[in-house]
Structure 1
Amino acid sequence: MNTVPGLTPPGRPAQPYDPEAVPVREAATVALIRDARVGGGVEVFLQHRVPTMQFAAGMSVFPGGGVEPRDYGGGRQWRGPEPRWWADRFGINDERAAAAVRGVARELFEETGVLLAEPAQPGTDVASGPPDPSVPPGHDERRALDAGRGDLDQLLSRHGLVLSAHLLRPWDRWTTPVGPPRRYDTLFFVAALPEGAEADAVTSEARAAEWVRADDAAHAGTLGHLSMLRPTLHVVSDLATAADVDEVLRWQRTITPGGN
């Protein structure tokens, strides 16, 4: 039996825990990409996490996080493939697929300010009062969402928007192996940066964020100059072989259910 380092209050003996009993949480993350400014290829948006995080502390990661109960509560339709399409590709059920698509879009907005959304068709339901598509969601709404107040569907409805799920692509699926005190079954997506959007680093989870050429990131990760978990390095290494964003979006991925 092992003890959990760093998770025991001072003055108390470390409590034994069973690695096999650690729950596997649902998570979703997205590699946000754009065409490289010079020389072809693609750039990927990487966040460099603060060293105090309980998971992947100090690592270079993609935006994302846990899929939450509020992501399951949404019901508005989106633009793009239906939940069954996503479920088939990730090897999960429709309900989880829908929650993951909403959850990864929510996390992307919370952590980078990039909102995968577009104007709804006339007659689309709204949360309260007439929507104003000319006014995009503001920083206060972003902070509220990050603090757990409301959900993505409510935010989009207030502004007369719908989720642009068609901008996402299913990419990979990895499960944390037995051993760590936190485990995740993570669905990896890829999305092209929408025209006119800008990604920022306004999140408490990262000390910095930047656009990096995928081939440079893969090289730095392989040499240990950037600290990456194996799945992150695997994804950037795949992206490093692409000539441009269009090529990435055309790829047909075969995803292994349950992880690699």
Structure 2
Amino acid sequence: MNSESSPEGIPAATIVIFRSAPDGGAPEVLMTVRSRTMTFAGGMAVFPGGRVDPADFELAQTIAGPDLSVDEAAHQIAAIRETLEETGLALGLSGDITADSAAKARVMIEAEGALAPVLAAFGWSLDLDQIVPFARWFPQNEKLSRVYDTRFYLADLGTGEVDVSIDNSENTRLFWTSAQGALDAAERGEIKLIFPTRRNLERLALFANFDEARAQAEAIPVKTIIPQIDDNNDQPMLRIMENAGYPITAELLSTVQRG
């Protein structure tokens, strides 16, 4: 995520990756801690993802159709590409995918910077049914170092035993946690969460499993969430819309972690 912002916002995409908890408890999601040297959200715990690149739009043009715009396809492709590069997980793809081939594909995507050459080299194809549109955040009214227009997706690994590893560039740590566990860790000061990540974790904590998350995501149309500063009270608040599926829609501006 190294492009300068524009008035329209930098297009970005991220995947909230579910897995069944090894102990049978609340489902876990994969989070990464960004390097403190990163301009945006340095040192923050976020979901894997990154900006949408021109090559993502080029590949999207080959699969778009009446039910899938080029813009939406490019965001989904970016989410798949960034997840493979940042974690080593081959989500949203179909074909002969093994731990070994995924590792080799990760090396290739880091070198090529695009997903299309990887698909051709390994004989894989896109399987966008694996990822579910969940949310869209565009904090254009806040004073941020860069403004990203980010689409969030959901995906399910199902199993509790999957190897992941950091990419050693933008991230310093990968970890599995329940959504509530991440919120509790933030309260203890063990991790830091920017406003959109905190709100999404609160929403994810509502679900007992991936199927519940998918059902809510499919029942509530994705709306563009643009946080607004509310100065009508003694202390300013940062608010989001009330009808997008989020249980907590406001936070004191003084406590908000910015990007």
Is 2:72 the counterpart of 1:97? Answer: yes
Gaps of 5+ in 2: 228-259
Match of 1:4 in 2: none
Is 2:76 the counterpart of 1:112? Answer: no
Match of 2:231 in 1: none
Instruction: Write out aligned runs for 1:114-153 (5 A).
Output: 114-116=89-91, 117-119=93-95, 137=101, 139-147=103-111, 149=112, 151-153=114-116
Gaps of 5+ in 1: 1-18, 87-93, 120-131
Match of 2:20 in 1: 35
Between structure 1 and structure 2, the one with the greater Rg is: 1
Q: Which letter does structure 1 place at the counterpart of 2:209?
A: D
Match of 1:235 in 2: 200
Is 2:157 the counterpart of 1:193? Answer: yes
Match of 2:41 among 51, 56, 72: 56
TM-score, length-normalised on structure 1? 0.74
Match of 1:253 among 220, 224, 227: 220
1:23–1:182 Cα contact (<8 Å) kept: no
Separation in 2, partners of 1:69, 1:250: 32
TM-score, length-normalised on structure 2? 0.74
Aligned residues between the structures? 218
Match of 1:165 among 110, 128, 133: 128
Match of 1:65 in 2: 50
Separation in 1, partners of 2:53, 2:31: 23
1:185–1:258 Cα contact (<8 Å) kept: no
Separation in 1, partners of 2:184, 2:220: 23
Match of 1:180 in 2: 144
Q: Which letter does structure 2 place at the counterpart of 1:236?
A: L
| Greater mean deviation of Cα atoms: 212-221 or 106-115 | 212-221
* Greater RCO, 1 or 2 (C-alpha within 8 Å, sep 6+): 1
Match of 1:155 among 106, 118, 126: 118
> What is the RMSD computed on CA atoms of the aligned residues?
2.8
**Identity fraction in percent:** 30
